[in-house]
Amino acid sequence: QTNGGDQDQLVSFNVLNTNGTLNQVWTGFYKAIGECNSFIQNVYGGSLSDAQKNYYAAQARFIRALCYFNLAGIYGDVPLRITASEVDSVNMSRTPKALVYQQIAADWKFAAQYLPASDNSTELAASVPTRYAAFGYLAKLYWFLGSNDNTPSSPNWAIAKTYGDSVLNANVY
């Protein structure tokens, strides 16, 4: 039984395109993606060292990938914006989710390359993504892709296992 409210629609898997919660999800994730894109585009123009630039860009790419992973999981094909918004890109069409997943993988691989294995240097360490968080999400992504392939011979299963094993064998978590 539902009263037809936004949350009731989600629970009953009978969601209308007018659902306000879905609008908030879409808007919130694209706001975060826009901020990440702007940051990534501008961080390399500053006076930080290359190592610092890559570290901060890796954090932004981790977050952008997480947003796109959730968006593609909820909506399927979504507009893929990887540069700061401009007037001519506002009405961008949807990108096939296979291409979105490729960008997600590229972002998390970049993050894994430039993020530290752990960060215990600040009070905010628990909120900073790490190399193994990126590996964990890569494992989840490839597991998801293997599940969608719906065949035991999918190469995505082995890739998911490799990333998952790297997290387990690191003994960080």
CA–CA dist 93, 103 (Å, integer): 16
Confidence of residue 9 (pLDDT cuts 50, 70, 90): confident
**What pLDDT score does 2 carry?**
62
Overall average pLDDT of the 149-164 stretch? 93
Among 1-15, 40-54, 159-173, which is the least confidently predicted range? 1-15
Nearest to residue 133, comparing CAs of 100, 102, 173? Answer: 173
**What pLDDT score does 121 carry?**
62
**What pLDDT score does 127 carry?**
75
**Letter for the amino acid at 66?**
L
pTM of the entire structure? Answer: 0.87
Show the tokens assigned to 165.
């094993």
CA–CA dist 153, 171 (Å, integer): 29
* DSSP at 93: P
pLDDT digits (tens, 9 = 90+) for 28-66: 999 999 999 999 999 999 899 999 999 999 999 999 999
pLDDT at residue 71 above 60? yes
pLDDT at residue 76 above 60? yes
CA–CA dist 103, 156 (Å, integer): 16
Overall average pLDDT of the 154-166 stretch? 96
Overall average pLDDT of the 7-28 stretch? 77
**What pLDDT score does 125 carry?**
59
Overall average pLDDT of the 142-171 stretch? 93
Question: 96-101 long-range CB contacts below 8 Å, 24 or more apart?
Answer: 97/72, 100/68, 100/71, 100/72, 101/72, 101/141, 101/145
Confidence of residue 108 (pLDDT cuts 50, 70, 90): very high
**Letter for the amino acid at 138?**
L
**What pLDDT score does 32 carry?**
96
